[in-house]
Amino acid sequence: MQRIRWTAAALLSGWLALIGASSALAEAAPVKLNTTADHAKFKELQKQFNSGPEVTKACLSCHTEAAGQIHRTKHWTWEFLNPDNQQRLGKKNVMNNFCISISQNYPFCTGCHIGYGWKDKNFDFTSEVNVDCLACHDTTGTYKKPPGLAGNPVVGKPLEMPPGSGKFINPVDLAKVAQKVGRTSRDTCGACHFFGGGGDGVKHGDMDSSLAAPDAELDIHMDAAGLDFTCSTCHKTSSHDVPGSRYKPTATEKHAAHIRGKEKQGNPATCQACHGNTPHKSQVLLRQVRMNTHAEKIACQTCHIPAFARGGVPTKLSWDWSTAGKLDANGKQFTIKDKHGHATYASHKGDFILGEKVKPEYRWFNGDIKYTLLGDKVEKTDMPTPINRIGGSPTDGRSMIWPMKVMHGVQPFDPVNKTLVMPHTAGAGGFWKELNWESAIADGMRNMGAPFSGKVDFIKTEMYWPITHMVAPKDKVVTCAECHAADSRLKGIDGVYMPGYSKFGWLERVGWLVALFAFVGVLIHGGARIVLSLKKAG
């Protein structure tokens, strides 16, 4: 009896199990479609992590080659040797006219390094466990590396930042982040690249937090409700080495569009890599041909990005360090903000000019860039000193007309040695606290082993940023009349004849004369035929 009861119970549960199974089939068992490996299921990641490197160790136990791949990239070395002119570039070496340079500011700048612990120039670049996998592969949006911690996230206890402010940064749940790793996204790339230059949208102008989930109007490719491109859709990466860098941009792309099965040539991040060199299609053949002819000399970006900083986030257009150091009536540092709450003056940084929906400036550009590096001689004149000189001309056969953000600066330099300088700005002893240029520059230059006379003056500088993001929908591109008119966007661009703008007296006179002769000819010929036919009839 007992036995029968048990058997019945067993049968019943078996039957229930079957029902369960069939309904599971009907509803399709939940399965992740965006990955083949659910990292939450890996034992290596089901534990408490007390630091970034502990997570990396776990990652590397399966992804054995990843750290070695990272070590080869600019993202890790912050260094790039330009093969054209042998200039040693990269964030480690260059200066700009924003926060100037990383020398003696490591723990702050390296908040954006994809490593842990780059706190001074003795950082070990061969370390595998100090590679930060999560910075790029976090999907939770909770992994943050605040400035000042040399690229480490906050772990353990909440951290008061800045000290004494009463504002706390909560620790990151490293296990949760590690279990949910995935592909890179606009959010992970943007965590650094949207905030370059010390704040949202500050540096690039065509990259800011509005691109995290943009609409079509802001970027037709990245439109979150549309094509939804991530950064890596264009910056198509292999072996962790992300292509498409501004240290060596591709200004002209002669290769055809990339096609599967064909050997890939060139930079995958250009417009032409997908669209080819004759991208325009129209029902009207003449229009199609005319547009494609434009594409021979004009970069796609020139017409298709009518303005940058279009997403509601302003970008800095000018930074004047020479006015830094003023104090208020109480002897304290102060900030002046515009009506949107963005700083236009700060005691520790000087004056800013911000802009939204900024029309780019246009230049012939062939991709060559030469930086003014530490030690290069500079002269103080009325003309701004170029932080980076861009190459290009209408006749070199490699140039196109490109849109540029031109960043204007006034920054400290050494008037005796005639060089730009790298001041120590952030943290203890830095200019932002002490407001003392001499000691700040002496410290920064000592760290680089560079000479400093002890004298400080200020010099006007400019820096070129080719514009390539924030591609507008096709009905919002630059219209014909914006260039082909007296007040042309391309004002000052030489080497092209632009009907409506260019004034070549003799050429236009010849043209009008030809038209006039043709018209007179038509009148005479037509008149003669009418007269003759009337005569015949009469």
Partner 1 sequence: MKLRITLPILTAVMLSASVAQAYEPDWKRGRVYYRSVCTSCHVASPVGQINPSGKTKAEWTAYLDADKHDKGKDSVKQYVSKAYRASIKSGNKAAAKFADVPDQELLGDIKSFLLRSAKDGESPASCS
Residues binding partner 1 (CB under 8 A): 6-7, 9-11, 13-14, 16-17, 20-21, 23-24, 27, 29-30, 141-142, 170, 185, 187, 210, 213, 215-216, 223-226, 311-312
Minimum Å gap between C-beta 76 and partner 1 is: 26
Gap between the Cα atoms of 429 and 297, Å rounded: 50
- Token pair, residue 158, equals 């909440």
Gap between the Cα atoms of 243 and 250, Å rounded: 11
CA 52 to chain centre: 26
Minimum Å gap between C-beta 52 and partner 1 is: 18
* 3-class SS shares of the chain: helix, strand, coil, % to 5: 30, 15, 55
Torsion of CA 277, 282, 286, 290, to 10 degrees: -40
Gap between the Cα atoms of 242 and 57, Å rounded: 23
Minimum Å gap between C-beta 216 and partner 1 is: 7
Q: Considering beta carbons, is residue 16 or 353 the nearer one to partner 1?
A: 16
102 CB-near residues (< 8 Å, 6+ apart): 78, 91, 92, 109, 110
Q: Considering beta carbons, is residue 8 or 530 the nearer one to partner 1?
A: 8
Q: Considering beta carbons, is residue 32 or 121 the nearer one to partner 1?
A: 32
Minimum Å gap between C-beta 30 and partner 1 is: 5
> What is the sign of the dihedral through the CA atoms of 327, 331, 333 and 337?
negative
Helix (H, G, I), strand (E, B) or coil at 42: coil
With contact defined as beta carbons under 8 Å apart, do 81 and 88 qualify? yes
Q: Considering beta carbons, is residue 79 or 215 the nearer one to partner 1?
A: 215
Residue with tokens 């007179």: 520
Minimum Å gap between C-beta 66 and partner 1 is: 24
Strand duo 315-320 + 457-466: pairing? unpaired
Minimum Å gap between C-beta 14 and partner 1 is: 4
Minimum Å gap between C-beta 210 and partner 1 is: 6
Q: Considering beta carbons, is residue 11 or 481 the nearer one to partner 1?
A: 11
Stated as kind and residue range, the H or E segment containing 293 is helix 285-297
Q: Considering beta carbons, is residue 9 or 523 the nearer one to partner 1?
A: 9
Gap between the Cα atoms of 175 and 181, Å rounded: 10
Please provide the size of the chain in residues.
538
Minimum Å gap between C-beta 471 and partner 1 is: 17
The number of beta carbons lying within 10 Å of the beta carbon of residue 187 is 19
Q: Considering beta carbons, is residue 227 or 327 the nearer one to partner 1?
A: 227
Q: Considering beta carbons, is residue 197 or 214 the nearer one to partner 1?
A: 214
